[in-house]
């Protein structure tokens, strides 16, 4: 049995988790800093680092006690090395190194994006979509040697990528955003509409009473052959800005604007994902990252994509350490422990094949 303690401090959540065999969550502790950053309308990096310093030890202690494990029970440690905020990452990485050194435990450095992807391997990870209910879960497929190839849609605050996964740790990038990430677009448009931080949940909430067809916002399908699977959200953001300006002093129809913006993002994400699945003949799509928590996107993925779709439950879409433990489990197996001689990498990209 493998028992991995993972630590995640890449942005504004201090998180630690214990995961068994890469699938079973024994504990998953997340100390969120949302309230701390709300007055700034976004994450204040220095404040985030300081809060991680305060929270990291109690969060780890709680992850161990809720899992009912002791240091001696652990197989290895995993920690997010990037991408993320340098000062925030440093807190997690240095804590993990100190523990690994003092307890003589192997340490695995994990890419945060790979972590999001592996949220689909956690036991709860497959239970959400109606299609998935009647299909084997990823851990089951994996055990039978049939999990790959998979199409992965990563939609987080900093990244929007379509990736073909051909094996554990083996990725081919099919497309990425040419400008803003999907979550970034949600956050910026929320600001334009005077909604709070974080923007994604605020837009989703406002959109519930809005008409998604009220405004015909552009769907940037970037059809040039070299950009077929790329995304672009900055034109959509500008279209919302223009519309907001047109209203001038008149009260904004915030709900309709939010619903129409959200529908445009969802349409583009679904269209590109469906095209890529067809082109590469992939029968199963995994979705992950903070924006995968969006209700309209989840419903559209289940209704409009042919084949099986895995979407993690809400608590595993946003940043957490269980996903880092799951990714760490596979990395520990191959290529093996990282050692202590690595640094944080704020701009780390998913390790794709050439
Ligand atoms: O994956 P994540 O927690 O952090 C990063 O690795 O970036 O993603 C955060 C992003 C934010 O942009 C947030 O606005 C967005 O995910 N988000 C959502 C929802 N919940 C979080 N976007 C749309 N709808 C949501 N319900
Ligand atoms: Zn994230």
pLDDT for position 249: 85
Residues with C-beta atoms within 5 A of ion ligand 2: 156, 319
Q: What is the pLDDT of residue 221?
A: 87
How far is the centre of ligand 1, averaged over its atoms, from the C-alpha of 246 (Å)? Answer: 28
From first to last of the 354 residues of the chain, give the pLDDT tens digit.
999 999 999 999 999 999 999 999 999 999 999 999 999 988 999 999 999 999 999 999 999 999 999 999 999 999 999 999 999 999 999 999 999 999 999 999 999 999 999 999 998 765 555 554 567 788 888 888 899 999 999 999 999 999 999 999 999 999 999 999 999 999 999 999 999 888 999 999 999 999 999 999 999 988 899 999 999 999 999 999 999 999 988 999 999 999 999 999 999 999 999 999 999 999 899 999 999 999 999 999 989 998 889 999 999 999 999 999 999 999 999 999 999 999 999 999 999 986
pLDDT of 306 reads 85
pLDDT at 103: 98
Asked whether 11 lines ligand 1 (CB < 6 A), one says yes
pLDDT at 201: 97
Give the ligand 1 atom nearest the CA of 13. Answer: 3
Secondary structure of the chain in the HEC alphabet?
Answer: CCEEEEEECCCCEEEEEEEECCCEEEEEEEEECHHHHHHHCCCCHHHHHHHHHHHHHHHHHHHHHHHCCCHHHCCEEEEEEECCCHHHHHHHHHHHHHHHHHHCCCEEEEEHHHHHHHHHHCHHHHCCCHHHHCCCCHHHHHHCCCCCCEEEEEECCCCEEEEEEEECCEEEEEEEECCCCHHHHHHHHHHHCCCCCCHHHHHHHHHCCCCCCCCCCCCCCCCCHHHCCCECCHHHHHHHHHHHHHHCCCCCCHHHHHHHHHHHHHHHHHHHHHHHHHHCCCCEEEEECHHHHCHHHHHHHHHHCCCEEECCCHHHHCCCCHHHHHHHHHHHHCCCCCCCCCCCCCCCCCCECC
Q: Which segments of the chain belong to CATH 3.30.420.40? A: 3-131+316-333, 144-312
Q: Supply the residue whose CA is at minimum distance from atom 21 of ligand 1.
A: 290
From 10, 88, 291, give the residue whose CB has the most ligand 1 atoms within 8 Å, as the site to mutate: 291
pLDDT of 129: 53
* Predicted pLDDT of residue 114: 98
Mutate to test the pocket of ligand 1, among 258, 290, 322 (most ligand atoms within 8 A of CB): 290
Quick one: CATH architecture of 144-312? 2-Layer Sandwich (3.30)
83 CB within 6 A, ligand 1 = no
Report the pLDDT value the prediction gives residue 222, as an integer from 0 to 100: 86
Q: Which fold has domain 3-131+316-333?
A: Nucleotidyltransferase; domain 5 (3.30.420)
pLDDT, position 132: 46
pTM above 0.85, yes or no: yes
Atom of ligand 1 nearest to the CA of 181: 12
pLDDT score at 128: 53
């Amino acid at each position: 049995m493998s028992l991995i303690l993972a630590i995640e401090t890449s942005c504004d959540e201090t998180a630690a988790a214990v995961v068994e065999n890469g699938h079973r969550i024994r504990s998953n502790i997340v100390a969120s800093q949302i309230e701390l950053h709300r007055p700034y309308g976004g994450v204040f990096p220095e404040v985030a680092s300081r809060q991680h310093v305060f929270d990291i030890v109690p969060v780890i202690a709680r992850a161990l006690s809720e899992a009912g494990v002791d240091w001696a029970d652990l197989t290895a440690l995993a920690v997010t090395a990037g991408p993320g905020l340098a000062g925030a990452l440093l807190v997690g990485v240095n804590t993990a190194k100190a523990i690994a050194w003092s307890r003589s435990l192997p340490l695995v450095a994990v890419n945060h994006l790979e972590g999001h992807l592996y949220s689909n391997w956690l036991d709860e990870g497959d239970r959400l979509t109606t299609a998935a209910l009647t299909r084997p879960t990823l851990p089951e497929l994996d055990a039978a040697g049939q999990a790959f190839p998979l199409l992965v849609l990563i939609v987080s605050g900093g990244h929007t990528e379509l990736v073909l996964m051909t094996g554990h740790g083996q990725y081919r990038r099919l497309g990425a955003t040419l400008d803003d990430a999907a979550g970034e677009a949600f956050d910026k448009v929320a600001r334009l509409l005077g909604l709070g931080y974080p923007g994604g949940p605020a837009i989703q909430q406002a959109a519930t009473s809005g008409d998604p067809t009220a405004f015909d916002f552009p769907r940037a399908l970037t059809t040039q052959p070299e950009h077929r699977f790329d995304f672009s959200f900055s034109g959509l953001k500008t279209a919302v800005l223009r519309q907001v300006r047109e209203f001038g002093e008149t009260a904004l129809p915030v709900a309709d604007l939010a619903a129409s913006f959200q529908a445009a993002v969802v349409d583009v994400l679904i269209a590109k994902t469906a095209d890529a699945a067809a082109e590469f003949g992939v029968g199963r799509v995994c979705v992950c990252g903070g924006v995968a928590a969006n209700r309209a996107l989840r419903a559209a993925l289940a209704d409009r994509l042919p084949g099986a779709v895995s979407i993690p439950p809400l608590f595993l879409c946003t940043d957490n350490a269980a996903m880092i433990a799951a990714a760490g489990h596979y990395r520990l197996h191959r290529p093996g422990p990282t050692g202590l001689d690595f640094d944080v990498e704020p701009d780390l990209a998913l390790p794709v094949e050439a």
